[in-house]
Structure 1
Amino acid sequence: MDIFRWDVFLTVLGLVVPIIAALYEFVFVGRKRLGYRVQLDTIASDEVHSAYGGALQRLQRAPDTPLTDPSFVLLRFENNGATHIDESDYAVLDDDRVGIRVSFPGRRVAGLVVTELSHDYLRPSFEGPSGLHVRDGVIQLPKVPMNRGAHYKVLAALERAEGETRAPGTEFAPPRVIGGIKGGVGSGDIPLTRSRTGVAAPVIALVCFLVAIIVTQLGLSLAAEDQSAPLDCASGELTLTGSTAFDPVLRAAADSYRDTCPGAAIEVRTDGSAQGLAALNRAGREHPDGVPSMLAFSDGPKDDGLPQLLPRPVALSLFTLVVNEEAGVADLTPEQIRAVFDGRHTDWSELGGAPTPIRLVGRHDDSGTRRVFQRQVLAGDREPASTSDNCRDRDPGAADPVTRCERGSTGDLLDAVAATPGAIGYAELGAALGHDDLPRLRIAGHEAGVEAADHGAYPFWETEYAYSYGELPADSLAASFLRYLTNEVGRDLIRAEGHRPCAELQNPVRCRPPNPQPTG
């Protein structure tokens, strides 16, 4: 197996090269470095006569003896290494006071001054018998101890040497600096340096190298994304059916999975928990291998008679009761809610609300939400049959004193409650939160919430199960989607719709609050 990875190699290379460059610059090469710059080298005679030449026209070697073809040179000597330089670092004999000698081919030095000291501690190095001298037209500079970054400047007046000629307009030959530093750059010579007015070529080369590394890595990453899908991606077709309460989560998860794994085609077809379970059971019996590419989601456990359907807890789903604004109620006890739904109360004024008839909006008998409501809030009692189609007027001859209607989906129920004066219904919490015009009813003073359910104070919740027909092949799209739904991305989607992922509960296997209490 080829274990060489270009992305890892480039990453290591991008780290190693700058480290080596830094070590080379500051540890090896730059450990001790003394350099010089020629900041000025120009003639002192005028090319065009000026009335203001003054002293510049009177440069003299002796009275009435002017300098021959005079010129000025300004030299800067600097410690541009990483450590300080001591007197003993100069590559001369110990008893030699001179550390550096500077000559000028074709010219001789007529005089000099030290014009600038970066630090006052440099001054004693040039005073007294320090070694600062001009001998035979050559500048002699003392062995100056210099800390890192220290510098001094020397201004010299020169004239053309005897027997030398220079054509007008020609440049002078550069100065020759003779000296060395023990353990310095290369052979220890004192190199010519340049003012740092721009970016150094090695720096530009290093930046270009790093940019090339980054661009190459980006290209490899994009190529890898184009050539291969993420590790847990699966292709094929998958149908998601069942709970309408869980429909928003399923649609968001399906869209996200398709974006991550383009080879997957996922259809969401939610018609209710009971219908979804029945469709899955039927598809499993009809499939030639008994492994249909289908998952059914149910609010609560399956009914008896479906032995081939295997459950997997996915989320704790919260539900809530919603009322029309004209009802004038905000909080009911479980006993009052049961009295409303079994027909013992017909007007909200009987419960301290507005004088408005009570109208009940429920779900069809195959709805998982309805079954949760009956089991958790009505203490197992069934809702009576519908007495109305429009939720406002009872059917003629109906014996039930309360107007009851049913709707096939969560959205239709919420719309019906919002449009019907005095109506009350129930829905999944995330969907109810999307209807700002519908007050959510508290149960015994508690709003729908995981914390209240955890402490047994809020009864209207249920486990959301994902059902498969038998065991799923590990490499199937259905198994991959279930793993996706329960990982970090899927958990975020579940939370966004008002549910709580089972993995975040104290007992994720049962997907129950830690201390559930029986509802009374």
Structure 2
Amino acid sequence: MKNFKRLALLFAFLLVVGVLAACGGSSEEEGSGSEDGGSGDSITVGGSSAMQPLVAAAAEEYMAENSDAQIDVQGGGSGTGLSEVAAGNFDIGNSDYFAETKDDIDAEELVDHKVAVVGMTAAAHPEVGVDNLSKDELKDIFTGEITNWSEVGGADEEITLVNRPDGSGTRATFNEFGLDGEEPAEGITEDSSNRVMQIVNDTPGAVGYLSFAYFERNEDIVPMGIDGVEPTDENVQSGEFPIWAYQHSYTQGEPEGLEKDFLDYMMSEEVQTTILPDQGYIPATEMEVERDAEGNESEIE
């Protein structure tokens, strides 16, 4: 009987020790989870491929200065940036156009951070023999009315159109402000601006559209002037060159933690005056004109 009581007491003691150990382990795990919120030092930023070089360069510099931070920068297009940040899959969603222009996005749930302005224009193969088009010629080329460069004073070369897919912010901006709302004819469709740049460079007679940043990376492809106005930062800032867009970084609600810190860094003097111009972008603060979500333009007083 005494041996039985001793065994019972030993069993009870071990049971209590086990329960306490389990509670202690659970408490420790819960504490470590709440300390960093599950994602305190890591965020995913994605969307607009026109913005990707800028955001990637800024993220690289930020992580060099903040070794405990991890910023994963992805592309996918502006539509992806908006839908993924709205769904909570991206911490920051990048877009070349306003969220209000997308019917399937609840823009009221998102906060807009205009980090830059980007100029865009038609990009042609180096040997087309043309570097300026009238607005009507530009529209006729992309809608398929003009099919050979000789029709606009260039080489006797058939025109090959290179488009971005639906959902691309670059496409939406080019269609609205370059083609006055007209849709381009069918051609080659590429998912990223990098691929458009490569196809245009390698395909005789090809023409697509790119942000100014990509002409910094490939000086062989031809950036088209429009109605005698050169595609320069200065002409975008003054409102003389028509094809441009804000570079939006959207968050779900007001940003906090690393999201806020990185967006603050994007607006810092280091990025706005050094990284941003080096990457071919225009600071929003240097614009002399502004646009709203409906595309209405006005002078900044």
SS in 2 for 1:495: helix
Q: CA deviation at 1:249?
A: 0.8
Q: CA deviation at 1:453?
A: 2.0
Structure 1 pair 327/349, CA: closer, same or farther in 2 (3 Å)?
Answer: same
4+ residue segments displaced more than 4 Å? 506-514
Higher helix share goes to which structure?
A: 2
The answer to whether the 8 Å contact 2:149/2:155 transfers is: yes
SS in 2 for 1:266: strand
The structure whose Rg is larger is: 1
Q: CA deviation at 1:507?
A: 6.8
What residue is the counterpart of 1:280 in the other structure?
85
Q: Does residue 408 in structure 1 map to residue 191 in structure 2?
A: yes
Q: After superposition, where does 1:248-397 map in structure 2 within 5 Å?
A: 248-283=53-88, 294-302=91-99, 303-307=102-106, 308-384=109-185, 386=186
Q: Does residue 431 in structure 1 map to residue 214 in structure 2?
A: yes
What residue is the counterpart of 1:482 in the other structure?
263
1:515 aligned partner, one-letter code: E
The answer to whether the 8 Å contact 1:348/1:356 transfers is: yes
Q: Does residue 515 in structure 1 map to residue 296 in structure 2?
A: no
Q: Distance in 2 between matches of 1:376 and 1:515?
A: 17
Q: Distance in 2 between matches of 1:441 and 1:469?
A: 37
The answer to whether the 8 Å contact 1:361/1:424 transfers is: yes
Q: Deviations over 1:5-51 (max 9, x none)?
A: xxxxxxxxxxxxxxxxxxxxxxxxxxxxxxxxxxxxxxxxxxxxxxx
SS in 2 for 1:343: coil
Q: CA deviation at 1:406?
A: 0.8
TM-score w.r.t. length of structure 2: 0.79
What residue is the counterpart of 2:224 in the other structure?
441
The answer to whether the 8 Å contact 2:289/2:299 transfers is: no
- For the aligned residue pairs, the C-alpha RMSD in angstroms reads 2.2
2:121 aligned partner, one-letter code: T
The answer to whether the 8 Å contact 1:235/1:265 transfers is: no
Structure 1 pair 451/357, CA: closer, same or farther in 2 (3 Å)?
Answer: same
Count residues with an aligned counterpart: 255
The answer to whether the 8 Å contact 1:502/1:509 transfers is: no
Q: Distance in 1 between matches of 2:297 and 2:144?
A: 32
What residue is the counterpart of 2:241 in the other structure?
458
Q: Distance in 1 between matches of 2:297 and 2:145?
A: 32
What residue is the counterpart of 2:21 in the other structure?
none
What residue is the counterpart of 1:92 in the other structure?
none
Q: Distance in 2 between matches of 1:440 and 1:427?
A: 8
SS in 2 for 1:378: coil
Q: CA deviation at 1:335?
A: 0.8
Q: CA deviation at 1:505?
A: 3.1
What residue is the counterpart of 2:203 in the other structure?
420
Q: CA deviation at 1:364?
A: 1.1
User: What residue ranges of structure 2 are gaps of 5+ in the alignment?
Assistant: 1-38
Over the matched positions of the two proteins, sequence identity in percent amounts to 29
2:286 aligned partner, one-letter code: E
Q: Does residue 500 in structure 1 map to residue 301 in structure 2?
A: no
Q: Deviations over 1:293-315 (max 9, x none)?
A: 61011112121332222211111
Q: After superposition, where does 1:16-55 map in structure 2 within 5 Å?
A: none
Q: After superposition, where does 1:171-182 map in structure 2 within 5 Å?
A: none
What residue is the counterpart of 2:22 in the other structure?
none
